[in-house]
Chains A and B, each alone.
Chain A
């Protein structure tokens, strides 16, 4: 007989017997032979011997084992998707802790996974629970023989019992393995295979992923009634998807310096929870938090891991989106302004830069960059700018801000960037574009304009925090008594010094004595508008602006020429300014009073003021 291809089907009739149908196929000859075998070895050749034991022991040697599905049970997922629990057998042993990953649920739902069917396990991960029990999560599986093609249960599989269990991880590997956890195989993540980000869920904690960091935030610290805290967050991506990762306190110390944007890492054993969509635009129902068990190890083999995943929103569509949404944008930087520096409320300096972004929709939007990004951004040559995780604001209509956790990419190497470049060079450069962000008036947009009467009627300053507002008011009186004090001459210290009466002045803050001091102003003034008046306190800069003289000169004048000194105060009266004020209700000994401090004094921009008044008049008229 010639050797030919033989197709053999193993049919099971009874336990321990098998009927083999062998077909020799050639064009002329078709013979069917039936064998009845009393050896159950043949039937077991189909299933991968020892697979159950190997899976349970997290062996990495197993290649696509073939198992038989003994039983399948649906577990209600509550608010999440349903889970299916399977009992699988390799003919020798059975194990009932197989969980079907949710992406394979359809296989169970359409009854492809019925008891007795033969399956080939293509990808799985074995997780060890805290009590030592094993759960094998099935990530990819194929039914090689459907249940109705199989006669029944193959062999007499006994439930697999490990050497020792329930006593914790140190004994979980039993005598055979003999390795304490610390000497576990050096493959990153230890016992687990690499799983895709898309498979991560809160029900398993022992997994390893391999992902690239697309964005890493700075360290954010806070201090509240419960104490101090810090965190940093990052976004990571692999072939299957992306996810946001946050590390708190100790994990910040452990991992912050290891993580580098653009590099690939093996990460294992983070905690998963439902994602707070407020902080992230990533496509993942879950987000991860690193904990004491988590590990992060750099990965050298980065070929398959993608660079970044972005879901760009057209600039024209920004109009329809809600404010505070986090989204990705890409466009041509049509124009850019210079870097400016602002002082935050905590008197910290921060750099800021605005630019205009335009895309094929013909619409423009103003984007604000902060900090180092603002300083280093080079807008020359109209570069393509992509921002992942920008924050949409309703300032000026619609505008964008690159927040603390956004990723800014200049001329990124992605297809959308090339498309934009081509469009811009051909037609975009000659388009004026329509901006979604209204040009700001000199006052600096978003100014909280009030009148002095509003302080009382709106109870400004009565809340937990101080209220800030701007108003246009006229100075009607300035107290010249006690307007100057002697301050520490040191550069950054303004503390009042104590006159030692021996020609020396002592500063308690610097803990030093000086032979001199510098004069500083604290002015108490009364300002008024058509409706009300208000006592306000002005410090150095605003005081000097109001009086039109610097503190040193005033100090000198006070000691030498009383009349001239008084004249300055007279001259300062009845000037009108824009005052930016801070008001807060303060209580001293059962008495509550509004304390108003002038943060900044500016000259009135009459054009802007008139426009604003006209606008308010028209608004009031139409409201009637």
Chain B
């Protein structure tokens, strides 16, 4: 699935499946898609679980080279709702004219 986005920056929100013992990478899954692998610049310095938002580029191998990640807590504050998030994503993709997300390149 990620093959479509090779060499493109993406924002990926998924549930953490497994963390590699070295802490340098982890896998994401949400049941629909096959597991996606995320590689980090530096090893993890905290427990990673639940839903995370990963920002990075898709490599040639189809893995995500993460430049940043955010844990979206489902138990604290205003709980994150993955289902609703998916609904919103569909809306954003269905109406690109109203949601012009894009990276503006200067020069």
Contact = CB atoms under 8 A, between A and B. Distances in A.
Interface of A: 606-607, 610-611, 614, 617-618, 621
B88 A614 contact: yes
B84 A607 contact: yes
9 contacts: A606-B78, A610-B87, A610-B88, A611-B84, A614-B84, A614-B88, A614-B91, A617-B95, A621-B94
B24 interface: no
B34 interface: no
Contacts of B78: 606
A607 B82 CA distance: 11
B84 A610 contact: yes
B84 A621 contact: no
B81 A607 contact: yes
A464 B29 CA distance: 58
A617 B91 contact: yes
Contacts of B87: 610, 614
Given A610-B87, A621-B94, 15 more contacts: A606-B78, A607-B81, A607-B84, A610-B81, A610-B84, A610-B88, A611-B84, A614-B84, A614-B87, A614-B88, A614-B91, A617-B91, A617-B95, A618-B91, A621-B95
Nearest to A604: B78
A621 B78 CA distance: 29
Nearest to A605: B78
Contacts of B81: 607, 610
Nearest to B94: A621
B25 to A, nearest CB: 32
Interface in B43-89: 78, 81, 84, 87-88
A215 to B, nearest CB: 47
Nearest to A603: B78
A614 to B, nearest CB: 5
Interface string B10-39: 000000000000000000000000000000
B73 to A, nearest CB: 14
Nearest to B81: A607
A618 B87 CA distance: 11
B63 to A, nearest CB: 31
A614 B85 CA distance: 11
Contacts of A611: 84
Contacts of A617: 91, 95
Contacts of A607: 81, 84
Contacts of A610: 81, 84, 87-88
Enumerate the 5 nearest inter-chain pairs by beta-carbon distance, A residue then B residue, closest first. Answer: A610-B84, A614-B87, A606-B78, A617-B91, A607-B81
A610 B78 CA distance: 13
B92 to A, nearest CB: 10
A266 to B, nearest CB: 66
A610 B81 CA distance: 10
Contacts of A618: 91
A530 to B, nearest CB: 13
Contacts of A621: 94-95
Contacts of A614: 84, 87-88, 91
Nearest to B79: A607
A234 B47 CA distance: 70
A269 to B, nearest CB: 66
Nearest to A611: B84
A58 to B, nearest CB: 79
A531 to B, nearest CB: 16
Nearest to B84: A610
B95 to A, nearest CB: 7
A611 B85 CA distance: 10
Interface string B86-102: 01100100110000000
A606 B87 CA distance: 14
Nearest to A617: B91
A180 to B, nearest CB: 83
Nearest to A607: B81
A617 B87 CA distance: 11
B30 to A, nearest CB: 19
A614 B94 CA distance: 12
A610 B85 CA distance: 9
